[in-house]
C-alpha cells in the first residue's frame, strides 16, 4: 500500500523543502528498507544547498539530502542473511555499482561510477524511509546509539585520513582545523596511538571542545597569519616538528602551514577541500621528502569505527550540539550554515526522538 515519505529535498540552489514523496515500500535483493532515525548535517549538504554544486558534481534535478545516517530495518530482501527486521544499523553511503579494478583492489571509494548518497544525481537518506544495499548496512551493538551510528560517517573520514597518514604508536600529529572533521581526526589519531596531537582553528570555542576531547595543544590562528610563523609555533609547542600533518580546512594558507610545519621525511594528508588550484611550497616539500597524500571519502572503515565506539576507545557523543525534528530541516541547515555548535542532528522517527 502506498504511503507518503517525508523527505528533505533540494530542488535547486537555495531551495530546500520538505516534500511528501511517493513511497511504495519497494525494495530489491540484496537491499533492506530502513526507517530512518538520526541523520547528521554535513558541510557538503550545506554547500549543495547554498551553491548547487561541489566541483564537478552539479545539481541538475531535485535531490534528497543526507548521508550521515542510521536507522532500523523494517523489511529485508530474500537474499539478505546478516540482517533481520528490527536491527539497528549504520549506513555506509557509498555503494559500488560495478566490480571494477578499484572494487577488486579494496579501494572502491575511487570507483568513478560509485553510488553515493546526496551526491548528484544520487538521492540521500534525510527522510522517513529509505532503501539501501544490505551489504553497506552495519548492525549496531546494543551499547552504540543511533546518533553514534550516524556519526560513523564523519568518524570514517578520520579513520581513512589517519590510515593514509600512517598514524601509529608514538606519532606526533598536527591537525589544521577543529571543525567536525578535524575533531574526529584528532580522536582517531589518539586512539591509534599518537603521543601528541596539536590542533589549530580560528574559533576558540572549537579549540575548547578539542581540548575536552583530548587534544594536547591548541593554537588559535587569525586570518592573515604568516604560514611559516605558524609552522614554527607548532614545532616549538611540540618540541620538534610533527611527523604527520592532517589538513582539514582546504584553505590555501593552511595547506602552506601544513607543509612548512611537517618534519623532513614526514607526511601531509589533505582532507579539506578548497579551491581547485592552490599555491603551495612544493619545492620545500620535495627537497625535504615530505609526502603529500590526498584522501577521498573512505573505504572499509565501518567495522573499525563500530569496534572503536563499542569498546569506548572513541567517544563521539559530545560532537552533537544541536538536535531538530525532520520537520525543522531548514532551521537545522541554517544552524549549520551559521557555524553554530559542532554537529547538528536531525531526528527522522516521529515516535523516537532519543539519541
The pTM for the full model equals 0.96
Query: DSSP H helical segments within 109-241, as ranges?
Result: 146-165, 180-191, 204-213, 227-238
* pLDDT value for 3: 56
Rounded Cα–Cα distance for residues 43 and 179 (Å): 10
Confidence at residue 353, expressed as pLDDT on a 0 to 100 scale: 83
Enumerate the domain spans of the chain: 4-139+316-347, 156-294
- Closest by Cα among 170, 181, 110, 174 to 342: 181
Q: Superfamily for 156-294?
A: NAD(P)-binding Rossmann-like Domain (3.40.50.720)
Q: Which fold has domain 4-139+316-347?
A: Quinone Oxidoreductase; Chain A, domain 1 (3.90.180)
Q: How many whole angstroms from its chain centre is CA 95?
A: 16
Backbone φ, ψ for residue 5 (5° rounding): -120, 100
* Residues of the chain falling short of pLDDT 50: 1-2, 24
At residue 348, φ and ψ (nearest 5 deg) are: -100, -15
* 324 and 331 Cβ atoms separated by less than 8 Å: yes
What per-residue string of b and e applies to 33-56 under the rule 16 or more CB within 10 Å gives b? bbbbbbbbbbbbbbbbbeebeeee
Q: For residue range 258-301, what is the model confidence (pLDDT) as tens digits?
A: 999 999 999 999 999 999 999 999 999 999 999 999 999 999 99
Find, among 338, 329, 324, the residue nearest to 15 by Cα: 329
Amino acid at each position: 500500500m502506498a504511503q507518503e515519505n517525508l523527505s528533505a529535498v533540494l530542488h535547486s540552489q537555495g531551495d530546500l523543502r520538505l516534500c511528501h514523496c511517493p513511497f511504495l515500500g519497494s525494495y530489491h535483493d540484496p537491499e533492506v528498507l530502513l526507517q530512518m532515525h538520526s541523520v547528521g548535517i554535513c558541510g557538503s549538504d550545506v554547500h549543495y544547498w547554498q551553491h548547487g554544486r561541489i566541483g564537478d558534481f552539479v545539481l541538475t534535478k531535485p535531490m534528497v539530502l543526507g548521508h550521515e545516517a542510521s536507522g532500523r530495518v523494517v523489511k529485508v530482501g530474500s537474499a539478505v542473511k546478516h540482517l533481520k527486521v528490527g536491527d539497528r544499523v549504520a549506513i555506509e553511503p557509498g555503494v559500488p555499482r560495478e566490480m571494477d579494478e578499484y572494487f577488486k583492489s579494496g579501494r572502491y571509494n575511487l570507483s568513478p561510477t560509485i553510488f553515493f548518497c546526496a551526491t548528484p544525481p544520487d538521492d540521500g537518506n534525510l527522510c522517513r524511509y529509505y532503501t539501501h544495499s544490505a551489504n553497506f548496512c552495519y548492525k549496531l551493538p546494543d551499547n552504540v546509539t543511533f546518533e553514534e551510528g550516524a556519526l560513523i560517517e564523519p568518524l570514517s573520514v578520520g579513520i581513512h585520513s589517519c590510515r593514509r597518514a600512517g598514524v601509529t604508536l608514538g606519532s606526533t600529529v598536527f591537525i589544521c582545523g577543529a571543525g567536525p572533521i578535524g575533531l574526529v581526526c584528532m580522536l582517531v589519531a589518539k586512539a591509534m596511538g599518537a603521543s601528541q596531537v596539536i590542533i589549530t582553528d580560528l574559533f576558540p570555542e572549537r579549540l575548547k571542545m578539542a581540548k575536552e576531547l583530548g587534544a594536547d595543544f591548541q593554537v588559535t590562528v587569525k586570518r592573515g597569519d604568516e604560514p611559516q610563523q605558524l609552522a614554527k609555533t607548532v614545532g616549538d609547542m611540540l618540541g620538534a616538528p610533527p611527523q604527520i600533518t592532517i589538513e582539514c580546512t582546504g584553505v590555501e594558507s593552511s595547506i602552506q602551514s601544513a607543509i612548512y610545519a611537517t618534519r623532513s621525511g614526514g607526511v601531509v594528508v589533505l582532507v579539506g577541500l578548497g579551491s581547485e588550484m592552490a599555491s603551495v611550497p612544493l619545492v620545500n616539500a620535495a627537497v625535504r621528502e615530505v609526502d603529500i597524500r590526498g584522501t577521498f571519502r573512505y573505504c572499509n572503515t565501518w567495522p573499525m569505527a563500530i569496534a572503536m565506539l563499542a569498546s569506548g576507545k572513541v567517544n563521539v557523543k559530545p560532537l552533537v550540539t544541536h538536535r531538530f525534528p525532520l520537520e525543522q530541516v531548514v532551521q537545522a541547515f541554517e544552524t549549520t550554515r551559521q557555524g553554530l555548535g559542532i554537529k547538528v542532528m536531525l531526528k527522522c522517527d516521529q515516535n523516537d526522538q532519543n539519541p
